[in-house]
Chain A
């Protein structure tokens, strides 16, 4: 019996009706397989606990309920008849009055009831959304691409612009941005816009805040007061805009509420964009009664691509400048992609872009990333099979050298329709790196699927490459054999530098928790550490191998060993040599962790100025200019 047979029984058979032979086989397999053992405990031992027979009280109570409910139903029917008769009389009277008055039809009679706060329902046949196609990621949605009943409906309240900018030249583009944002929102199908004061609770509340700005002597715009939760746009040379999005409905749904609004979970939800390097978008969930933060949801880590900063006169930004209208269009597109209920036309359009051979690779990759983000940021299987199929086709068609990376990107999402293509890639992708990457995705996300385990078992026994077989073996049974293979290759001096390191580097390409655990176990072996250090040291100044050396140093950082310490000191000292900086860059995090160590500081004195500058930018005091510490 193998794992697949075992899981077939555990998933499909009635444990109480297994034959003695089947039960024995399962017991034997579970005893030998650490993966399957816990499942047997849950499956068999739990089933062995007897269920007490049903007390007679259950029957008595249920019969009483049936009798009571039957009587209640009869009473409700009788009462209902009275109400219906009354209603007919009232309706007849009302109809008579209406006929006599012959007045203008009321708004209700026309089928249009204005919402409180002068809501603006979107027209059933909206004009095409002509969104400027900035950086190839945004495109117009054709008219009537989908019937209106498939488009999600929701309301957005746009709060009045909070304009703190005093500089007249800056105020104008901020105002333009705000006006353009409102105009763009009006075009979104299914979206009811609320702009006037009112009491109706919108699904989303959008506030645009233009923060106070100032220019320094060089013309560089600075933003104040510092706010970690605000995105800072520069629009047409100056001015800064922060956007905050409140999304009660979305997060109520995430919390398991009914998604009907605030009352479902009693929440006030606020969100913002943070302005650190990765520009993450977060939704912060707070208790409606001031109970503090409940949770924070990452919405996106790619907002920066939609929110480019413009070059400012005298400023140093090299990013493309964007008109306020373009910025607004992109923001609305971003909100539709990441925040608002998903319009099914969006993934369809993105899938079409993925398949459009006339587009550039960058444009198609942008569509792929957007689809990945839709799946990543929205719970459940939002994407249709066709979108997944388009993504798989795109990734499979990538050049061999990029395929592993492309699979890795696709591996960020989990979707049932991805399992089969991943298994197929594991079986037939000609690129070893791609197969290893796919293996790590399957291992990390789908190892609980018996079909996936079967495929990994197949790779373990049949893959033509030894490293893939070892990786599969490690996924199934743990890291001992992988470590043996790493050690064996390190000792083979007839192989090239890269070949000797291949099992190590390939086996860690996924960066999964299991892989890192195996690496840590490897680095606890002094023999392994010594072999690695000796090998790396012999190629420390080999410019052709700088990339490989840097990768190994990145792994060795995790080892707490004097040999590794000495190696890094040599790396720092050698950073001023040709190609040394590439290798030394991988030592920066190691240096940051040991910046107070005298030996590290001393080695930095002979380090490359570029390395010192890098460390300085990372707030490590320059050891040369710094006064020596007192004893």
Chain B
């Protein structure tokens, strides 16, 4: 019955929308894509309300679905004819989806560089960092992503290093553009 579906949605999903949006925004760094991601998650939740109701932690379930949607979306965007396959190969996903100009103007240049660097990470690294920065600890991230904790710690380590490396590259590029020098 429509009423019961809506009621279940109100009790199981609606209380977590703010959190879903925060994490989504951490992943995609712009409002429109964050909204779309949350919307996709809501659709999946509505179609699986029975599962969602049966789970111990609806938020964890929702975050996991959202993470999968994000990674699947990123993967679809990388179905190019030629891909070199190596560890962590799904790089440079969603890189065209930079924050909109209005937002960028409001941010300091350092923040812009950091966000650009973040958007150059692969989808999984962005997911892990996004969840970690939102305050989820390793056991919670393990439950959401299904990644073994020992592996998780390593992946987080690599994600942070990668971010620092990308940030250094972005900073160098910006400095070059300012001085007009060539790479």
Interface residues of A (CB under 8 A from B): 10-17, 37-39, 41-43, 45-47, 49, 51-52, 54-55, 57-59, 61-63, 65-67, 69-71, 73-74, 254-256, 285, 287, 289, 291-292, 294-295, 297, 416, 419, 446, 448-450
Contacts and interface: CB of A to CB of B under 8 A. Distances in A.
B160 A38 contact: yes
Contacts, number: 148
A59 B16 CA distance: 11
Contact of B25 (A16, A51, A446): A51
A291 B83 CA distance: 11
Contacts of B101: none
A51 B22 contact: yes
A13 B42 CA distance: 29
Contacts of A43: 132-133, 160
Given A65-B43, A73-B47, 16 more contacts: A43-B133, A46-B129, A49-B107, A51-B22, A51-B25, A59-B14, A62-B14, A62-B39, A66-B6, A69-B5, A71-B2, A285-B85, A291-B82, A294-B84, A416-B148, A449-B157
A292 B154 contact: no
Contact of A295 (B13, B35, B42, B83): B83
B65 interface: no
B16 to A, nearest CB: 10
A150 B114 CA distance: 47
A42 B18 contact: no
Interface in B145-174: 148, 150-151, 153-154, 156-161, 163-165, 167
A416 B151 contact: yes
Nearest to A10: B160
A12 B137 contact: yes
Given A42-B159, A448-B154, A69 B137 contact: no
Contact of A46 (B5, B10, B138, B163): B163
B165 A448 contact: no
Interface in B7-41: 9-10, 13-14, 17-18, 21-22, 25-26, 31, 35, 38-39
A41 B164 contact: yes
A515 to B, nearest CB: 20
Given A43-B133, A416-B148, A70 B46 contact: yes
A42, A55, A70: most-surrounded residue (chain B CB, <10 A): A42
Contact of A450 (B84, B89, B114, B153): B153
A388 to B, nearest CB: 13
B2 A70 contact: yes
A58 B35 contact: yes
A46 B118 contact: yes
Contacts of B137: 11-14
Nearest to A61: B39
- Max chain A Cβ within 10 angstroms of own Cβ: one of B10, B83, B138: B83
B34 to A, nearest CB: 8
Contacts of B180: none
23 contacts: A11-B137, A11-B138, A11-B153, A38-B165, A41-B160, A41-B163, A41-B164, A42-B159, A42-B163, A52-B25, A54-B17, A55-B35, A62-B17, A63-B6, A65-B42, A66-B9, A67-B2, A69-B43, A70-B3, A295-B85, A416-B150, A449-B154, A449-B157
Interface residues of B, number: 60
B83 A255 contact: yes
Main secondary structure of the interface of A (DSSP, over half): helix
A331 B9 CA distance: 57
B120 to A, nearest CB: 13
Contacts of B10: 66
A289 B138 CA distance: 43
Interface string B88-123: 011000000000000000010011001100100000
Most chain-B CB neighbours within 10 Å: which of A54, A55, A59, A67? A54
A14 B135 contact: yes
Contacts of B138: 11-12
A51 B157 CA distance: 23
Given A10-B160, A54-B21, A49 B85 contact: no
B54 interface: no
Nearest to A293: B82
Interface in B48-101: 75, 81-86, 89-90
Contacts of B47: 69, 73
A62 B5 CA distance: 13
Contacts of A449: 150, 153-154, 157
A17 B135 CA distance: 9
Contact of A55 (B31, B154, B164): B31
A197 to B, nearest CB: 31
Q: Which of B110, B129, B160 has the most CB of A within 10 A?
A: B160
Contacts of B114: 45-46, 49
Contacts of A255: 83, 85
A188 B35 CA distance: 51
Contacts of B133: 15, 43, 46-47
A295 B22 CA distance: 38
A446 B132 CA distance: 21
A482 to B, nearest CB: 23
